[in-house]
């Protein structure tokens, strides 16, 4: 029993390390080679967890090898377009000028229903509104709408809207995040002073406080 527990902990930590080593791309958008590696890593990790006859090393060796080769392949793909196209494939245009490309759809084995579903998910109901729709190498659908179907932006209306910056969390559950404060060129003293001047709020009672470079502040206290 304890062997199973310790093996699981070791392999869990090892798989976390491996996935972190593969980088953020692995978690979000999987290319074909990355998908294969991710599935294989999880499968390989379970073998020594369940089979006590298998030395833990025999689970670790293939995981390290896969992660290493995944890095090498990613690096080569980054440097060489031909190899990248061979390994990851090409994006395919499935809608051009508001018309479905039936030949491409057939070769990709994607049904019209699936295309419509994917467009509906993105709030597009008419194929005629789509100038281009592309199946990316990671399998996701991206599209470009005709100007008449696009959402109106302030730029189109020539309206000068104030630039908003990224709000950063400066207090999380009563804990001051100093590095975010310094990114915004503020310090602990400024923060405590602000809280004191705005209702003598105790820092420990602040559940969440965000701040952006335009000094827009959001505060939620624990008791709210």
Partner 1 sequence: MNRILLSSICFVSVLLICIFGTKHVETSTLPLIDQAKTSLFYAQNDDMQSAILSMEALILDWEETSNILGVLLRHNEIDDLDQIFILCLEYAKNGNQESFQVETSSLIHRLEHLIEKEKFSIKNIF
Q: Assign residue 157 a region (left: φ > 0; alpha: ψ between -120 and 50; beta: otherwise).
A: alpha
Find the radius of gyration of the CA atoms of the chain. Answer: 26
Question: Which of residues 3 and 5 has its CB atom nearest to partner 1 in the complex?
Answer: 3
For 163, the token pair is: 């630039």
Question: Which of residues 33 and 180 has its CB atom nearest to partner 1 in the complex?
Answer: 33
Diameter of the chain measured on Cα atoms? 71
Site for partner 1 in 61-120 (CB under 8 A): 61, 64-65, 67-68, 71-72, 75
Neighbours of 167 (CB within 10 A): 17
Site for partner 1 in 157-186 (CB under 8 A): none
CA 40, 46, 48: angle at the middle one, nearest 5?
115
Told to check if 15 binds partner 1 by CB under 8 A, we report no
Told to check if 55 binds partner 1 by CB under 8 A, we report yes
Told to check if 28 binds partner 1 by CB under 8 A, we report no
Told to check if 25 binds partner 1 by CB under 8 A, we report no
**Shortest gap between Cβ of 84 and partner 1 (angstroms)?**
17
Question: Which of residues 39 and 72 has its CB atom nearest to partner 1 in the complex?
Answer: 72
Helix (H, G, I), strand (E, B) or coil at 166: coil
Question: Which of residues 36 and 112 has its CB atom nearest to partner 1 in the complex?
Answer: 36
Told to check if 53 binds partner 1 by CB under 8 A, we report yes
Told to check if 131 binds partner 1 by CB under 8 A, we report no
CB 51 within 8 A of CB 8: no
Told to check if 16 binds partner 1 by CB under 8 A, we report no
Neighbours of 44 (CB within 10 A): 20
Helix (H, G, I), strand (E, B) or coil at 135: strand
Question: Which residues bind to partner 1, rule: CB under 8 A?
Answer: 21-23, 52-55, 57-58, 60-61, 64-65, 67-68, 71-72, 75
């Amino acid at each position: 029993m304890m062997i199973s527990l310790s093996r699981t902990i070791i392999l869990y930590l090892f798989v976390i390390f491996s996935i972190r080593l593969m980088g953020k791309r692995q978690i979000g958008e999987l290319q074909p080679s990355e998908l294969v590696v991710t599935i294989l890593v999880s499968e390989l990790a379970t073998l020594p967890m369940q089979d006590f006859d298998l030395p833990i090393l025999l689970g670790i060796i293939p995981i390290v090898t896969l992660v290493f080769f995944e890095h090498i392949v990613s690096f080569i793909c980054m440097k060489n377009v031909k190899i990248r196209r061979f390994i990851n494939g090409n994006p395919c245009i499935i809608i051009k000028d508001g018309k479905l490309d039936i030949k491409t759809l057939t070769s990709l084995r994607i049904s019209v229903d699936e295309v419509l579903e994917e467009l509906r998910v993105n709030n597009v109901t008419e194929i005629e509104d789509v100038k281009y729709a592309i199946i990316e190498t990671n399998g996701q659908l991206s599209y470009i709408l005709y100007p008449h179907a696009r959402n109106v932006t302030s730029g189109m209306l020539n309206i000068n809207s104030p630039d908003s910056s990224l709000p950063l969390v400066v207090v999380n559950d009563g804990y001051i995040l100093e590095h975010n404060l310094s990114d915004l060129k503020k310090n602990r003293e400024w923060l405590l002073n602000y809280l004191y001047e705005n209702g003598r709020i105790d820092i420990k009672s602040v559940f969440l406080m965000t701040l952006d470079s335009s000094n827009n502040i959001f505060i939620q206290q624990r008791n709210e």
